[in-house]
């Protein structure tokens, strides 16, 4: 059997009582034919609807790993909560949800498309979970909807809502529908950069060294020749290394500098000024918790989830202020990764797989409908 190129996970969970007897259902389909590849439904004892819904998502992602690990995947659920949390737009606050969300993030491959669908478009997963609950209660099965005849692509039962379909950004006309271009420049090297120590927003505030200043001049030359759009403004983090980077860029590009607090690096609290190895030796439990969940902050610091929320708000402000213009943003590793994550609409763990060099250049474009796209990442001018 030929492996499917694209698949859809339909997942659901339900509790009769909330909390009460609960079960989940997950269906893995070939996205092109609608054919069911695999399905799973199980009871999970007494639980809430949300726990059951996350359990259904995890089951669907496990089916994906078993049957179509190389396929492009879209997850469709009628749980707005789960979809928004997995897409990174809402925080996971409830303690019962955090380990389930973490497990789902670990299973989700890069580039998952997270789609909310109305309940009537998620009938198959709902049907098999209710069959599981009926069977556990000694009742006859009322449904058998998860293995129907294959559906043609685009039919209403499996099609995503029009607003959530692939935006086909490569086909857009930037003249008719001008995006806001955000060129993201990481600051040049400092002595702390070369020493690989945590250097956040509340610690030491080092300036550029000679290596860093040379890197920034190369970045300015690259920005001026790499894009036909003239730069309208340079917007900088308030930290010294970024302000010095921004001044070089602005002088070379002939524009002004605006300082924006939202571009500041994450706060690493008690770890500021230490190397990773030093933190691992002095505070291994806190480090393990921080590495395991983006909702956990270093002692006295800021979590990755908080930085992401800050960058989301900032991107909206930038588009409102500089809509259709070309803005150079001078920032740090963590905020730049969050802009990239927004462009890719990727799960939060993607940030741990992104490398970013000093004075490197990345570019995203934000379109009037809010969709953002990645044009370049971690380009190191030479």
Tokens 């339900």 sit at which residue? 14
Name the catalytic one among 10, 53, 265, 302. 265
- Helix residue ranges, H only, 69-168: 80-86, 97-107, 123-136
Q: Nearest-CA neighbor of 214 among 189, 196, 247? A: 189
**Residue 265 annotated to the active site:** yes
CB hemisphere CA count around 98 (13 angstroms): 10
Q: Nearest-CA neighbor of 188 among 111, 120, 248, 268? A: 248
**Residue 352 annotated to the active site:** no
Name the catalytic one among 74, 187, 244, 332. 187
- CA pair distance 372, 226, nearest whole angstrom: 19
> Beta strands of the chain (E only): which ranges?
6-15, 20-30, 36-47, 72-77, 113-116, 180-186, 233-236, 257-259, 326-331, 361-366, 372-379
What angle (nearest 5°) sits at the alpha carbon of residue 47, between those of residues 41 and 49?
75
DSSP labels for 94-108?
STTHHHHHHHHHHHS
Contact 364, 374 (CB under 8 A): yes
Catalogue the active-site residues: 187, 265
């Amino acid at each position: 059997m030929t492996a499917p190129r694209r698949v859809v996970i339909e997942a659901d969970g339900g509790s009769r009582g909330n909390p009460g007897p609960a079960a989940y259902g997950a269906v893995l389909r070939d996205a092109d034919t609608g054919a069911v590849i695999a399905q799973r439904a199980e009871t999970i004892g007494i639980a809430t609807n949300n726990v059951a819904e996350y359990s259904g998502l995890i089951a669907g992602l496990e089916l994906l790993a078993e049957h179509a690990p190389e396929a492009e995947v879209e997850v469709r659920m009628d749980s707005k909560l789960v979809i928004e949390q997995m897409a990174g737009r809402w925080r996971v606050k409830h303690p019962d949800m955090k380990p389930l969300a973490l497990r789902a993030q670990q299973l989700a491959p890069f580039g998952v498309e997270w789609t909310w669908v109305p309940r009537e478009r998620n009938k198959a997963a709902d049907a098999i979970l209710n069959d599981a609950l009926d069977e556990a209660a000694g009742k006859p099965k009322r449904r058998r909807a998860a293995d129907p005849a294959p559906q043609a692509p685009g039919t209403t039962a499996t099609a995503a809502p029009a607003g959530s379909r692939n935006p086909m950004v490569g086909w857009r006309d930037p003249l008719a529908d001008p995006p806001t271009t955000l060129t993201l420049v990481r600051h040049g090297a400092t002595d702390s950069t070369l020493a690989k120590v945590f250097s956040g927003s509340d610690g030491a505030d080092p300036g550029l060294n000679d290596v860093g200043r040379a890197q920034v001049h190369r970045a300015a030359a690259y920005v001026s020749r790499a894009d036909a759009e003239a730069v309208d403004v340079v917007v900088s983090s308030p930290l010294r290394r970024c302000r010095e980077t921004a001044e070089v860029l602005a002088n070379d590009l002939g524009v002004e500098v605006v300082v924006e607090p939202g571009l500041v690096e994450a706060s690493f609290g008690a770890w500021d000024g230490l190397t990773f190895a030093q933190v691992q030796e002095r505070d291994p439990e806190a480090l393990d918790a921080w590495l395991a969940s983006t909702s956990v902050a270093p002692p006295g610091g800021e979590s990755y989830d908080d930085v992401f929320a800050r960058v989301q708000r900032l991107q909206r402000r930038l588009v409102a202020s500089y809509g259709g213009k070309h803005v150079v943003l001078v920032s740090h590793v963590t905020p730049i990764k969050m802009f990239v994550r927004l462009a890719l609409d990727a799960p939060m763990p993607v940030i741990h797989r992104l490398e970013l060099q000093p004075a490197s250049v990345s570019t995203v474009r934000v379109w009037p409908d809010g969709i953002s796209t990645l044009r370049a990442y971690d380009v190191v001018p030479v």
